[in-house]
Amino acid sequence: MAAAADPPVFNADFDPSTGAPAEVAPGVVRVTAPNRGPYTFTGTNSLLLGADRLAIIDPGPDDAAHLRALLGAIGGRRVEAILLTHTHKDHSALAPALKAATGAPIWFGGRHRLSRKPRPFERNAVDGASDWALVPDRVLADGESFEIAGTKVEVVATPGHCANHLCFGLAGTPWLLSGDHVMGWNSTLVSVPDGSMSDYLSSLRKVIALPYRHYLPAHGGPIEDGPDYARALLAHREMRNAQIIAAARGGARRVGELLKIIYPNLSPPLVPAARMVLKAHIEYLEAAGIISARRGLFGMPIRPI
């Protein structure tokens, strides 16, 4: 497991100026969608990369007002491609309409897919939030780079939040477009079998090793020291692992019991997300041989090994 580090300091002090273009880095403009919520914070940040010609990253939800805002920010300039960090609908659902309006192809890391095969009696809690039907015009692969909108972009596969998640590095700059992999306002939702805690932790270590210092996430404001913050997220996840192990050794046997111990004051809208994350941690610890879990129609009893 990761070495001890300071936990993350989440920053919810962010004014999205919903629908209004805002320059957030050299050659990068943010337009935030009006889909504020418990899982989306102030809304999805769509990013416009370039000057005379553009690439659009994460066009966002299927929302007519947001489409108008994006087209207004584009201002008739040529859009060379629409890039997706991943295919959850709050990022990708507007892509077909934006493609129809601009003629730009849609590039991402392959069709939406699960991180592993579902187990008997298992429900995919984010099935309805996933864009299963969207087909890329170009499949982007880990490590490839391309020139677009006057910028060299490096593709960084970061599975974990979901299987086809990508980050985009702006080569020769300190900026990484981190999607939902690293966000400053909260830790990332990992829900099995859509996502994978093991993959997520590996992907955190991967971006920490990259030369990019500043992160632009798809929800919330920029992260000044991205690698240090990602290290803190690793520490946060290891703390959760330790809490689950301690609770199981203390007699907790079900996710509901873990929820009361680990999140005693959680607001009701966030309870489903906490359950999802706890199940992802349990799967991670089970694979590590630290706890055991029995799955059936009536829950997932756990025991320490």
Q: Which pairs count as long-range contacts for 131-135, CB under 8 Å and 24+ apart, including other chains? A: 131/87, 131/88, 131/89, 131/92, 131/93, 132/87, 134/87, 134/92, 134/95, 134/96, 134/106, 134/108, 135/111
Residue 123: Cβ within 10 Å count:
7
Q: Tell me the mean pLDDT in the region 266-270.
A: 92
DSSP 50-77: ESSEEEEE---SS-HHHHHHHHHHHTT-
CB under 8 Å to 5, separation ≥6 — which residues?
231, 232, 234, 235
- Do 22-225 and 237-304 fold alike per CATH? no
Amino acid letter, residue 48: L
pLDDT digits (tens, 9 = 90+) for 182-200: 999 999 999 999 999 999 9
pTM to 2 decimal places: 0.95
What's residue 89's pLDDT?
98
pLDDT in tens, 74-120: 999 999 999 999 999 999 999 999 999 999 999 999 999 999 999 98
| pLDDT tens-digit readout, 3-48 | 456 789 999 999 999 999 999 999 999 999 999 999 999 999 999 9
Overall CATH class of domain 237-304: mainly alpha
| Domain limits, the chain | 22-225, 237-304
* CATH no. for 22-225: 3.60.15.10
